[in-house]
């Protein structure tokens, strides 16, 4: 659904994706790297529901058509996540382009490694980094709750 077949020179048959399909796939990549759909919604100043409806292509109650990402939201994602203009519109199916390097939401980059050098990381590296960061943050949140509650361990 949504794809069409292109007969290329030499009778090669390829399936091309629509812009909506590409944008949805890229949204999934942005969500993965950002850590959660809620983080994406927060950075875009949109509701969780709005981003979820685009992600799941929820049908519009009046038209019955799936909700898709328009140009304005695509450009907003690129702007808020430090991606090149047009990144959301391009198919990044090859392994080298599968995970975007996303700018942090704070003004400064807090790490010793420049963002430009992160392009060598693959999908598994990003998953490991995300898991490690989430684990560390959750541990510090637990520590803070324990300290606030005045309980040990």
In a domain, 8, yes or no: no
* Domain coverage including residue 70: 19-121
In a domain, 30, yes or no: yes
How high is the pLDDT of residue 102?
A: 62
Task: Give the total number of structural domains in the chain.
Answer: 1
Residues in the chain: 153
In a domain, 145, yes or no: no
Q: Which residues contact 88 (CB under 8 A, 6 or more apart)?
A: 22, 23, 26, 27, 69, 74, 75, 77, 78
27 within 8 A of 69, measured Cβ to Cβ: yes
Find the mean pLDDT for residues 59-64: 92
In a domain, 1, yes or no: no
How high is the pLDDT of residue 151?
A: 63
Q: What are the DSSP calls for 72-141, one per residue?
A: HHHHHHHHHTTPPTTGGGS---SGGGSS-----SSSS--SSS-GGGGGG--HHHHHHHHHHHHHHHHHHH
Q: Is the pLDDT of residue 68 over 90?
A: yes
In a domain, 147, yes or no: no
How high is the pLDDT of residue 150?
A: 78
In a domain, 45, yes or no: yes
- Phi then psi for residue 46, to 5 deg, are -120, 165
In a domain, 148, yes or no: no
Q: Is the pLDDT of residue 45 over 70?
A: yes
Rounded Cα distance, 38 and 120, in Å = 27
97-140 pLDDT, tens digit each? 555 666 555 545 666 666 667 778 888 888 888 888 888 888 98
In a domain, 9, yes or no: no
Please, is 132 exposed, middle or buried when counting C-beta atoms within 10 Å of its C-beta (0-12, 13-18, 19+)? exposed
């Amino acid at each position: 659904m949504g794809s069409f077949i292109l007969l290329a020179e030499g009778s090669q048959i390829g399936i091309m994706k629509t812009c909506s399909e590409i944008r949805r796939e890229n949204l999934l990549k942005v969500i993965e790297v950002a850590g959660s759909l809620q983080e994406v919604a927060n950075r875009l100043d949109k509701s969780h529901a709005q981003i979820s409806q685009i992600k799941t292509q929820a049908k519009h109650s009046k038209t019955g058509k799936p909700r898709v990402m328009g140009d304005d939201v695509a450009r907003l994602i690129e702007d808020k996540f430090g991606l090149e203009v047009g990144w959301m519109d391009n198919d990044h199916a090859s392994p080298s382009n599968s995970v975007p390097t996303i700018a942090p939401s704070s003004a400064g980059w807090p790490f010793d490694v420049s963002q430009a050098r992160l392009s060598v990381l693959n999908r598994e590296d990003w998953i490991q980094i995300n898991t490690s960061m989430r684990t560390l943050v959750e541990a510090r949140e637990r520590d803070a709750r324990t300290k606030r509650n005045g309980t040990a361990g």
